[in-house]
Structure 1
């Protein structure tokens, strides 16, 4: 099977590093013209400069702060006034770690703005072109914690679960327009985010960062942490014509970590 996204445009959130960067690279390598979004202009410039253009692609970037919803709305609204996206990858940085006893209502509101409102608002704008064109792909980067909550990620557990249920509802509403909506449930991947979380665990437990990682790897049936490229491969498939009959799903990519069906 050969996946080609030639002639398609993609908008990828949180793409200056980690799984967002991997997705952007894979979409570009598959032929799509990609616009990256992140707060780090230096990183975005560097990544865009290295993306392939051998299939006529043109690549761009947007400097955004997902944590500032009002500011984000202005930037993304301006973008969609003269641009469109056939493929939308909703992905942001994660909220602060902590259990339910450590979090209060204002922090849940901040996480809601970061993880939910940015996703819904961006999707609303992208859908106008997709519905007119009778083709679209919406891919949400979520987490395995929506199925099996992680005690130290109360904010992420809660709000990402809302994103996944919203996406399931949206899939039913837009399916007749040849638009698919899928959520990828991310397991342990070798990203800055997981290094930060592991550092906090190590400090709390009084053990080394290496011991935290080894324990994490031991919990995964394939006995390793995921490579962000592997996330990119799945995203590229879901963005393709070959995945046109896959919608409303929540697909784990976790090396078998989840114990639930």
Structure 2
């Protein structure tokens, strides 16, 4: 299958590293012009230099901190006042780890703004042009923990589940405009974020990062962590014409880790 995204414009959140970067790279390799979003300008500039330009695309970046919702809204308003996108990849950095009993009202509010409000607001801006064009692809990166919650990720479990329900509802609302909406339930991928979480687990259990990683790999039927490029391939397919009849889905990409159906 040859996926061609030439002429398409994409906006990818959390793209300075990890899954977001891999997605941006793959979309660009398929011909899309990609704008990457993250809070670290130095990292964004490095990724920008790596993005393929085989179709003479015009790539760009936006410096924005998802955790500062007020400022984030202003930056997105400014961008969409003069730009439109065909492909929107909603991907943010995660909230702090911890159990339910360790979280405060303020923690839940901050997580809601970080994981849900930024996604909903960015999508509302992108939808204006998508509806006019009668075309759009919206892909939300969430987590497998919306199906099987992790004890130490109370904030992420809770708010990402809301994103999945919202995405399903949105898909039914905008399908008539030839806009698809899909959720990706990510598993354990070899990224900086996962190493941070594993390090916290190791500290809490008075063990090593290597031991936590080995146990995690042993629990996965494929016996390894995922590669970011593997998830990026699915996202690129969902962003293409070939996936035009797929919408409202929540697709686990976790090496078989989920035990539920």
TM-score by structure 2 length?
A: 0.99
Report what 1:49 is aligned to.
49
Query: How many residue pairs were aligned?
Result: 261
Counterpart in the other structure of 1:196:
196
TM-superposed deviation, 1:106: 0.8
Instruction: Give the corresponding residue for 2:246.
Output: 246
Give me the whole-angstrom Cα distance separating, in 2, the residues matched to 1:53 and 1:21: 15
Partner SS state of residue 81, structure 2: helix
Q: What is the distance in 2 between the residues matched to 1:85 and 1:220?
A: 36
The alpha-carbon deviation at position 56 of structure 1 amounts to 2.3
Cα offset for 1:96? 0.1
Superposition map of 1:106-255 within 5 A: 106-255=106-255
- Work out the CA distance in 1 between the residues paired with 2:92 and 2:218: 28
CA displacement at 1:73 relative to structure 2: 0.3
* Superposition CA RMSD, Å: 0.5
Deviation at 1:51, TM superposition (A): 1.1
Structure 1 position 54, deviation (Å): 1.5
Counterpart CA distance in 2 for 1:148 and 1:10 is 31
- Counting only pairs closer than 5 Å after superposition, residues 1-12 of structure 1 correspond to structure 2 as 1-12=1-12
In 1: Cα distance, 2:245 partner to 2:158 partner? 29
State the TM-score, normalized to the length of structure 1: 0.99
Q: Which runs of 5+ in 2 are unaligned?
A: none
CA displacement, residues 44-69 of structure 1 (integer Å, 9 cap, x when unaligned): 11111121111121100000000000
User: Which stretches in structure 1 are left out of the alignment for 5+ residues?
Assistant: none
Take 2:54 and 2:184, find their aligned partners in 1: how far apart are those partners? 29
Secondary structure of 1:34 counterpart: strand
